[in-house]
Chains A and B, each alone.
Chain A
Amino acid sequence: MRSGHGIRWVVFWLLACVILFQCPAVAGEAALCAPGDTASIAPTVVQPSIFHPLSPPARQIESLAWLVMGICAGIFVIVEGLLVFSIVRFRRRSMESGEPVQLYGSNPIELAWTVVPLLIVFTLGLVTIRVIRDVERETPPEGALEVICIGHQWWWEYRYENPLSPQGEIVVANELHVPVGRPVWLRLESADVIHSWWVPSLAGKMDVVPNKTNHVWFVAEEPGLYLGQCAEYCGNQHAGMLLRVNATSPEEFDQWLSHQASKPVDEPAVAAGKSIFLELACSTCHTVAGVSDGAFAPDLTHLMSRATIASGVSPLNRQTLRSWIDDPQNMKPGCNMPSLKLTTDELDDVTAFLCTLK
């Protein structure tokens, strides 16, 4: 009764899988980690890699990745091994003549290599569903910092709710700041085409789709600068739509937040640059709190508090800012900001004005 044995084994396997994957320890609950002793550690740059997770969803995906790769590696070794063995063992030798024994098939063998793969993918299916339940949240984690993230061609806008600010919210561009150890719940929206928010060390990617609200969540476990970039083709400068997430201690984060809520200092020394900013097209697109309220392009209220310009394409300092204003198409060909063909003096004035927006 060999087939009876087979059926018993299959049933046993199915039961074992179901029981195993109901057990939280196997899939690993998405434990929210406590903030570590963070103040003393200097922020480090975290390069994007799915094997360097520093956030619960990314961690869970990494351990899942090792499990799945392990299973696939096992299958790979067995099947490629069989292939190589057949190539070596059954290659025609010169002394052989005539045709080999014709074997038309074998029901038990064919049944075996139908059922065994079924069991393997059944197992993988259960693991998948288990981890989907933890990673794809539909409600924010408890105590989460909620931030709205809006994808634009080709930059990111972040909006924090904040009572200190006159508008009730703080708008920044391209550089997301989050406190270490606190869950972050990003609400993803798009102003134009589809983008995708992907910082591999923090979480898997999620598309940013116009007229559809998606969410992504993570908890930065260590302070540092987490890198990533847009992962859905969104036009010319898809490659120039970089992501930067600054995770700092909660105190530093609060400081940063209250600074962003403040109005920029109005310096009379740069009035010339300010009037050029207002008279030319700049103010149609860019907001500077108390000066202009354009909405198409990044908010510049605290421009100089950022480390980069052009969505992370270049570091931000007086020289790069000046050459960016001179001809944005040079630094980021195809981007939506035109060159306004400013004279050298105008360029200096505008740059001086923008440099006061600390």
Chain B
Amino acid sequence: MTTPSTILAESSNRSVLERMHAWAVTVDHKKLGVMYILCGLVFFVIAGLEATLMRIQLIVPLNDVLTPQGFNQMFTMHGTTMVFLVGMPILLGAGNYLLPLMIGARDMAFPRLNAFGFWLFLFGGILLYFSWIGADGLYGSGGAPDVGWFAYSPLTSRTFSRGNSTDYWILGIMVSGFGSMTTAINFLATILCMRCPGMTMMRLPLLAWMMLVVAVLVLTAIPVLTAAQVMLLFDRTLGAHFFDPQQQGSAVLWQHLFWFFGHPEVYILILPPFGFISEIVPVFSRKVIFGYALMVAATVGIGFISLGVWAHHMFVVGLPPWLNALFAASTFLISVPTGIKIFNWLGTMWGGRIRFSTPMLFATGFLGMFIVGGLTGIMLAVVPLTHQLSDSYFVVGHFHFVLFGGTVFAIFAAIFYWYPKVTGRLMNERQGVWAFWILLLGFNLVFLPMHISGMLGMPRRIYTYQPGRGFEIWNLISTIGVPVQILGVGLIVWNMIRSLSRGAIAGNDPWDAWTLEWSTPSPPPEHNFDRIPTCTSARPLWDRKNPTDPDEHVE
């Protein structure tokens, strides 16, 4: 029998070494999911510290806390870490943990491939960070990569990037990218083949639908990045000239390849959060999701369109005007399914009896902030306006509203929501509410002013700025927001650690929810379900709890 005290309970009578060994060799999707998320959170703290250093450098004009190269390394590592080592592992890790439980399976389709993927991600990340020690190479110039997470050629060529730092960037991301691909294959096979009896595709939890589309996007986008990185590696080490303009290579080709990966990547980072919100909002509004079928259609639509919008990152590269217009049109188009989702969530809340527990607080915060990020995104689709705003701080503000106000808030919502399932204990509610408001305040202090400094002409990625241009006050406010944000994140981390031993016992189903993972004990046993459940609608537990008014009658 599993006791619901801690996640380590089942093995508590073994030595530390034995327990560590058990985690290292595990192929259990739950343990792997937890390891993904914990490693992601560690990288999150590291990337946060890098961002803090940048904000300290930018607190006043002509500051010299960091050297120019030091600053450039900070934004390169911050961006690379947040995208590849925080966003993807936490989201794929959550998928790893939740998918088999939500669809009534005992594990992922390929458990050992799953473990392989996790270790590839982790060692890829460590390889990237090892650059700080190892990238000096033969040239004595190096350290961490300083070419930006987008690594535009020809800045990445041997001529302009000496030493081995760029090679570390290529290899670290390539290795963890292979990990993401194996995970995506696993997701596809699991969702398509491992659903419990009765769970048709149109009864799939929305999170699983979003993860399915994410898996397709990962398999479409990451190989393109990997191929481009191999080409770059050839350029750098074997004397190829794919991206070398001096030898009739093309600098713009890299941008096409990178953003063909890069834009779907944005949806890889936002679709799972959409999934979290689609699970959390109905449960706490006590209403079924409004427009399930349209939600699915919108998700698939976003997946398709996201493969055809990449050149909106390149509106000032000098592509032909008709091409810019075409990509503006596809970008406008993708805002429609995204808008549908927001309206469907609002429709779900409408007429509900909303409980504002911490998961719902963070989910509501997500909605409020993501709307802002979405609208500034529409502004950036207006090509001539992007001639002004591209590569300015406005863009930094925009995508942090999407990826922090959106993705990170949704991740915290998910952590508060599923923590009791993973650990058997609830997180502290009062601390959670405090953390939410502090984080919301800090987040807006940091990122709202960036919209203004961008419109005043402040470009991104500058290690310092000239006084008297009107940037000072906005940068000062941004930096003041940093400690507030750190306090908010710190409270959540503290809450997670403390609740592990002190949280209230959660029981199987603390939120009175409707998907299958809440029918197992918390934490779930290694085999997940004693008997494989059957499923009668998209809300199997609703049907069990409300036998007089089951969903199956509605379908």
Contact = CB atoms under 8 A, between A and B. Distances in A.
B145 to A, nearest CB: 12
Contacts of B392: 231
Given A207-B318, A211-B251, A198 B382 contact: no
Given A50-B457, A83-B346, A124 B332 contact: yes
A49 B387 contact: no
Nearest to A131: B384
Interface string B359-403: 000001001100110011011011111111111100000000000
B456 interface: yes
A110 B340 contact: yes
Interface in A220-259: 227-240, 242
Given A121-B333, A132-B324, A205-B316, A233 B461 contact: yes
Contacts of B355: 92
A239 B464 contact: yes
A193 interface: yes
A94 B206 CA distance: 30
Contacts of B368: 80, 83
Contact of B385 (A68, A82, A188, A242): A68
A80 B546 CA distance: 33
B540 to A, nearest CB: 15
B146 to A, nearest CB: 8
B343 interface: yes
Contacts of B291: 104-106, 110
B308 interface: no
A12 interface: no
Interface stretch (A133-141, A175-183, A280-288): A133-141
Given A82-B346, A205-B316, A231-B392, A132 B383 contact: yes
A2 interface: no
Contact of A90 (B69, B251, B288, B352): B352
A164 B276 CA distance: 70
Contacts of A128: 325, 328, 332, 381-384
Interface stretch (B132-140, B147-155, B187-195): B147-155
A192 B153 CA distance: 10
A170 interface: no
Most buried by A among B294, B325, B457: B457
Contact of B379 (A69, A96, A153): A69
A57 B383 CA distance: 13
B346 A231 contact: no
B54 to A, nearest CB: 12
B69 A205 contact: no
Contacts of B248: 211
A196 B287 CA distance: 51
Given A83-B346, A91-B354, A207-B317, A117 B155 contact: no
A214 B549 CA distance: 65
A121 B336 contact: yes
Interface stretch (B230-238, B264-272, B465-473, B485-493): B465-473
Nearest to A206: B316
Nearest to B67: A333
B483 interface: no
B350 A86 contact: yes
B532 interface: no
A194 interface: yes
Nearest to B318: A214
Contacts of A132: 321, 324-325, 328, 383-384
B23 interface: no
B68 interface: yes
A233 B160 CA distance: 13
Contacts of A240: 68
A203 B385 CA distance: 10
Contacts of B339: 113, 117
A200 interface: yes
Nearest to B389: A50
A142 interface: no
A101 interface: yes
Contacts of B160: 153, 192-193, 235
A91 B340 CA distance: 23
Nearest to A208: B318
Interface in B153-187: 154-155, 159-160
B68 A60 contact: no
B388 A200 contact: yes
B460 interface: yes
B428 interface: no
A109 interface: yes
A71 to B, nearest CB: 8
B290 A103 contact: yes
A236 B455 contact: no
Interface of B: 67-69, 72, 146, 148, 152, 154-155, 159-160, 245-246, 248-252, 285-288, 290-294, 316-318, 321, 324-325, 328-329, 332-333, 335-336, 339-340, 342-344, 346-347, 349-356, 364, 367-368, 371-372, 375-376, 378-379, 381-392, 455-457, 459-466, 468-470, 546, 549, 551, 554
Interface of A: 47-51, 57-58, 60-61, 64-65, 68-69, 72, 75-76, 79-80, 82-83, 86-87, 90-93, 96, 99-106, 109-110, 113-114, 117-118, 121-122, 124-125, 127-129, 131-133, 135-136, 138, 153, 188, 192-194, 196, 198, 200, 203-207, 209-212, 214-215, 227-240, 242, 333-334
